[in-house]
Amino acid sequence: MESLSLLADGIWIAMQPSNLLFAAIGVLLGTLVGILPGIGPSLTVALLLPVTFQLDPTGSIIMFAGIYFGGMYGSSTTAILINTPGEAASIATAIEGYKMALSGRAGPALATAAIGSFVAGTIATVCLALLAPWIVELAVQFGPWDYFALMMVAFVTVSATFGSSVLRGMTSLALGLFLGLVGIDKLTGQARLTFDAPTLMDGISVTTLAVGLFAMGEALYVASRFCGIPDKIEKVRGSLWMSRADWKASWKPWLRGTLLGFPIGALPAGGAEVPTLLSYTLERKFSKNPEQFGKGAIEGVAGPEAANNASATGTLVPLLALGLPTSATAAMMLAGFQQYGLTPGPLLFATSPEMVWGLIASFLIGNLMLLVLNLPLVGLWVKLLTIPQAWLYAGILVFAAMGTLASNPSTTELAMLVVFGVVGYLMRCLDYPVAPMIVGLILGPMAENQFRRALQVSMGDYWVFFKHPGSASLLAIAAIALLAPLMFKQLRRFRGGDE
């Protein structure tokens, strides 16, 4: 149980007053931004990244974790109260939660979401602490070919397997890979796709792309849909507390959601949508009165919310242990790490264990803080929802411009942000997912690096990827995951079904 004692050390670090303060500020800021309609956790993280620039690494990463969890909690509040899920993972919450709010049970819906997130987050963090060192031990024996094959699996799962259309997901990924090429090649120092523009030499910044695609894209999209009718907000009526019956209905879904969410998140299987929707279906099946579903069943909020939080913590397993981001939010977290000059992966566990364990411990503390701060403050958060769209989006744009200018004070960078914003707007209109593009930008150069290192080791022998059982089986998984949905589609057509 060495990892548990390391976790205890981590808790000690995270309990330092200054770190506690960072965690509290992070949770509050994260909720503050995440609660604004249309802003999901990954955008919250992208927008607030510059806030943490000047702190010491441990403090800023801890604050960052707080922002992440706060953002997730804020998004589920919005989903319950105004039926606008910030991202696909809160769709299930929005279905049942909003119905509960309509029938005057917004309080228990918010409470079961918060407590469920807390339970799931805590269990998942302990699982993370137990699992990560084990994977790190395994990862030490990984060759560059294994890393490359693992990244191929991540590419396929993020873009093809779970999206609405393989073609659209792959297109988004390919655009990200294309942007990843821009800049100076790290191995030979040659400029690629820079066209002699000095700003392009350093490559495309992940933050600029993420803020452009998410924040600008969303603002432009909402503006293009503007018709002068404001959103309707459900008041938080009735008791805020859950009754004995609510507790009884909730605790099993919390645990089942955690059980579904953590493993799916920890596998490089892309996003929290799958476990949340699985959990929703599962709870409907297990429920004693399934006719309640669709009319505001508390189980339909408790399960998916727990699954959402557990899978978000699960994605941190590949991120921390292997340096592999498998969701848009994880990609933003990786960008954050890189901003502080840190590369997550086996090496980080060896070189700065106090930081890694401090971070893992601060997840526990962040979750607890969410429960303590947010539930009583719910009235204040609800007030935020009444900000008119005009001020809200104007403020978001000013904030987004500020973040870009703070990291790179040039008008060219700002122009790039606007261009990415237009791209994000078009992708929203034409129904292309944006997350694969961000994962492609950050993972593409890493995959290329491993590919070239593998070939250097093998003296140019391409079979190196198939000679090692690990990389060979991973590549096979990637190929199956890419082709399976296409084949199912063909099968369906064969049976006479239409797309």
Residues forming contacts to another protein in the complex (CB under 8 A) are 50-51, 53-54, 167, 170-171, 174-175, 177-178, 181, 185, 187-188, 190-193, 195, 216, 219-220, 223-228, 388-391, 393-395, 397-399, 401-402, 405-406, 409, 411, 414-415, 418, 421-422, 425-426, 428-431, 444, 448, 451-452, 455-456, 458-460
Question: Residue 140 or 394: which CB sits closer to another protein?
Answer: 394
Contacts 24+ apart (CB under 8 A), 88-92: 88/271, 88/272, 88/273, 89/271, 89/272, 89/273, 89/276, 89/308, 89/311, 90/40, 90/276, 90/304, 90/308, 91/273, 91/276, 91/277, 92/276, 92/277, 92/279, 92/280, 92/300, 92/303, 92/304
Question: Residue 50 or 344: which CB sits closer to another protein?
Answer: 50
Question: Residue 277 or 414: which CB sits closer to another protein?
Answer: 414
Rounded distance, CA 404 to CA 248, Å?
Answer: 48
Question: Residue 198 or 460: which CB sits closer to another protein?
Answer: 460
Q: Give the largest Cα separation in the chain, rounded.
A: 70
- Closest contact distance (angstroms) between CB of 51 and another protein is 7
- Closest contact distance (angstroms) between CB of 323 and another protein is 19
- Closest contact distance (angstroms) between CB of 216 and another protein is 8
**What single-letter amino acid sits at 496?**
G
φ/ψ of 329, rounded to 5, equals: -65, -40
- Closest contact distance (angstroms) between CB of 193 and another protein is 5
Residue with tokens 């979750």, as numbered in its chain: 367
- Closest contact distance (angstroms) between CB of 467 and another protein is 16
- Closest contact distance (angstroms) between CB of 472 and another protein is 19
- Closest contact distance (angstroms) between CB of 191 and another protein is 8
Question: Residue 390 or 476: which CB sits closer to another protein?
Answer: 390
| Nearest alpha carbon to residue 314 among 282, 345, 251, 271 | 271
Cβ-contact 110, 375 below 8 angstroms: yes
Question: Residue 61 or 101: which CB sits closer to another protein?
Answer: 61
Question: Residue 228 or 496: which CB sits closer to another protein?
Answer: 228
Question: Residue 193 or 233: which CB sits closer to another protein?
Answer: 193
Residue with tokens 């899978």, as numbered in its chain: 311
- Closest contact distance (angstroms) between CB of 170 and another protein is 6
Q: Which tokens sit at 355?
A: 């930081």
- Closest contact distance (angstroms) between CB of 430 and another protein is 5
DSSP code string of 82-125: HS--SSGGGHHHHHHHHHHHHTT-HHHHHHHHHHHHHHHHHHHH
Q: What one-character DSSP code corresponds to residue 243?
A: P
The terminus-to-terminus CA distance of the chain in angstroms comes to 52
Query: Quick one: CA dihedral 124, 128, 130, 134, positive or negative?
Result: positive
Question: Residue 18 or 456: which CB sits closer to another protein?
Answer: 456
φ/ψ of 421, rounded to 5, equals: -60, -45
DSSP code string of 331-378: HHHHHHHHHTT---SHHHHHH-HHHHHHHHHHHHHHHHHHHHHHTTTH
The helix or strand, by DSSP H or E, that contains position 257, with its residue range, turns out to be helix 244-266
